[in-house]
Structure 1
Amino acid sequence: MPTYAITGATGQFGRLAVAELLRRGTAPADVVALVRDPAKAADLSASGVDVREADYDRPETLEPALKGVDALLFVSGNSVGARVPQHTAVVDAAKAAGVGRIVYTSVLRAASSDLPVAPDHVATEGLLAASGIPTTVLRNGWYTENYFGLLSQAEATGSIASATRGAAVSPATRADLAAAAAAALLDESTAGRTYELAGPSFTLTELAAAFSEVLGREVVHHEVSVEELTAGLQAAGLDAGTAGFYAAVDVATAGGALEGSTADLEELLGRPATPLTDALRAARV
């Protein structure tokens, strides 16, 4: 049987992907969990999953961890500014170890996106194309969970604010995107394809209405300027760099960077994407 490996297997996304592989009938012995700290994967090891140390910042750990892997789910790193050298190390190690196929988690419409995270993903897609390893590119939209912080704010204040200028966003739940990644990993025919993965679309005004429904109280959305948003984020305790990052995301959102179709996601899932209100209610449990 093929051996399937997942990087970042103790992270939120990676754990869901491992669980989905097992749910779909993959034998635990055929699943390799690649983690920075094996002690944090004791539960996976106890279930029969092969846990191996693999640290993006320690390239010497990568090639040995990838030996014997037929298909790799390469979950992108989360260190902005460090991704390109980290990802270069992973691709080099995969090539040296003889990995047969890679599934990579990129960002929605990476090549044309104004999102501040897009350049790292464009660079990685280029590395993968140059490697010669058959690759499936999963261009993931934003996680629905990214809006759960706003849900808490809405519950406390009855309002949310953005500088999205009425543009729609199309996030998907982390579980849906992880399930899609597992499906792509198991299906050799996805090699060579790029999937634009997005969930159901809504504006921030529609998000406020969904918050109202879930919370049982009126929530309103206020459109503000980028400067007002940045100042508000800093007043809430964010440092200037982080506040600027989130403001840049809203600017990109206003330009359509986070809006997409559910077609590719639902093709991989074999079912409809999780509706927004269902995700919000689950977050409240």
Structure 2
Amino acid sequence: MSIVVTGATGHLGRLVIDALLAAGVPADTVAAVVRDKEKAADVAARGVELRIADYDRPETLDDTFRSGDRVLLISGNEIGRRVAQHAAVIDAARAAGVAQLAYTSVLGGPDADFELAAEHKETERLILGSGLPYTLLRNGWYTENYTEQLAPVLQHGAVVASAGEGRVASAARADYAAAAAAVLTQDGHLGKAYELSGDTAWSFAEYAAVVAEQSGKDITYRDVPAETHLSVLTGAGVPEPFAAILVDVDAAVGRGLLARTSGELARLIGRPTTPLAVTVAQALQRR
């Protein structure tokens, strides 16, 4: 039996591998599913088994999983293609007889009514219909979704969004990785759906204030209409279809859908979630 992490060379996948090894899981019982062996050379160097497969080529998944494996399906990042990709993984996991399929879904699950959630909801439906022992990790927003975009904020002195006074209960990506490691290594998580989010929900005005304080620059929050926000994003080079999805997310923030603070993430990882100010500081230090 192995603990198998798909998408293992992505940001979250690498952090899950880190969390598993830090928790004392023997490296030779961890398997990383990757498309590119060369990109995973550093993972293999840690003693982790590489299993080469591609979500878009279901035949490559035929021998990816073993009976009794505990599998983490990290959602793909190609919007519009994810349901078919996830279905291929689910089918392969079911054929292999895995002991657990954990999936990184979206906060709110069936109640999430914004466009970005649609493929997650369909994937949940496929998992529930598969008969596999499952754990649904309904992840809220990563704080890095924002801090990795600090360059234009610092350049223009503004956090631009169309979320009004909406709040985001984000947490660091490493917090969500630690939660995934916990459900893969502990008993009692089968058949569960966890609503995972940060301990504290913050507004964009508060985010701007934190960036201003830590950077020493004048940073304000500019709340703009959705149409203006779309124009700002496309003007910055974001493809219009994806820009429209981001604007739709801000509308969901404005409706309070990403402000839930259930405390389930902190309970799973056994500590408070990483504060916004800490992740901002780390991002500024890397600049």
In the aligned structure 1, how far is the partner of 2:20 from the partner of 2:96? 22
C-alpha displacement at 1:205, in angstroms?
0.6
Shift of 1:46: 2.1
Q: Secondary structure at the match of 1:10?
A: coil
Q: Is 1:150–1:160's contact at 8 Å kept on the other side of the alignment?
A: no
**CA-to-aligned-CA distance 1:47-99 (integer Å, 9 cap, x gap):** 21111112111111113011245200111111111111111111110010111
| Per-residue deviation, 1:241 | 1.7
Question: Matched residues in 2 for 1:10 and 1:232: separation?
Answer: 31
Aligned partner letter, 2:34: V
**Aligned to 1:146, what secondary structure does the other structure show?**
helix
Cα offset for 1:213? 1.4
Match in the other structure for 1:275: 275
Alpha carbons 2:163, 2:251 under 8 Å: kept: yes
Which structure 2 residues correspond to residues 53-68 of structure 1 after superposition, within 5 A?
53-68=52-67
Aligned alpha-carbon RMSD (Å): 1.3
The DSSP-based 3-state class of the residue aligned with 2:181 is helix
Which residue does 1:18 correspond to in 2?
17
Write the distance in 2 (CA, Å) between the matches of 1:238 and 1:91. Answer: 31
Aligned to 2:130: 131
In structure 1, C-alpha distance between the alignment counterparts of 2:238 and 2:50, rounded to whole Å: 36
Task: Assess if the C-alpha contact under 8 Å between 2:148 and 2:283 holds in 1.
Answer: no
What is aligned with 1:234? 234
Q: Could you tell me how far 1:115 is from its partner in structure 2?
A: 2.4
Q: How many residues align?
A: 284
- Asked if the contact 1:3–1:68 (Cα under 8 Å) also holds between the matched residues in 2, the reply is no
Match of 2:72, SS state, is strand
Q: What residue in structure 2 maps to residue 222 of structure 1?
A: 222
> Where does residue 83 of structure 2 map in the other structure?
84
Within 5 Å, which residues of 2 pair with 1:135-150?
A: 135-150=134-149
> How far off is 1:237 after superposition?
2.5
Give the TM-score normalised by structure 1: 0.96
Over residues 134-187 of structure 1, what are the superposed CA-to-partner deviations in whole Å (9 max), with x where a residue is unaligned?
111000011101112442223212212211010101111111111111111111
Q: What secondary structure sits across from 2:115 in the alignment?
A: coil
Q: How many angstroms apart in 1 are the aligned matches of 2:27 and 2:149? A: 37
Q: Write out aligned runs for 1:1-285 (5 A).
A: 2-199=1-198, 200-285=200-285
Greater shift after overlay, 114-123 or 9-18?
A: 114-123
Contact 1:170 1:201 in 2 (8 A): yes
After superposition, the C-alpha distances for 1:89-115 in whole angstroms (9 at most, x for unaligned) are 111100101111111100110211122
Deviation at 1:262, TM superposition (A): 5.0
Structure 2 Cα separation of the partners of residues 246 and 122 of structure 1: 18
Distance 1:133 1:230 in 2: 40
Partners of 1:262 and 1:273 within 8 A in 2: no
Q: Secondary structure at the match of 1:209?
A: helix
Verify the 8 A CA contact 1:136 1:190 in the aligned structure 2: yes
SS at match of 1:180: helix
Moved more, 146-155 or 174-183: 146-155
Q: CA deviation at 1:279?
A: 0.6
Instruction: Output the amino acid matched with 2:80.
Output: G
Partner of 1:117: helix, strand, or coil? helix
- SS for the counterpart of 2:64 is helix
TM-score, structure 2 normalization: 0.95
Task: Structure 2: state its 5+ residue gaps.
Answer: none
Instruction: Please tell me the residue identity of whatever aligns with 1:82.
Output: R
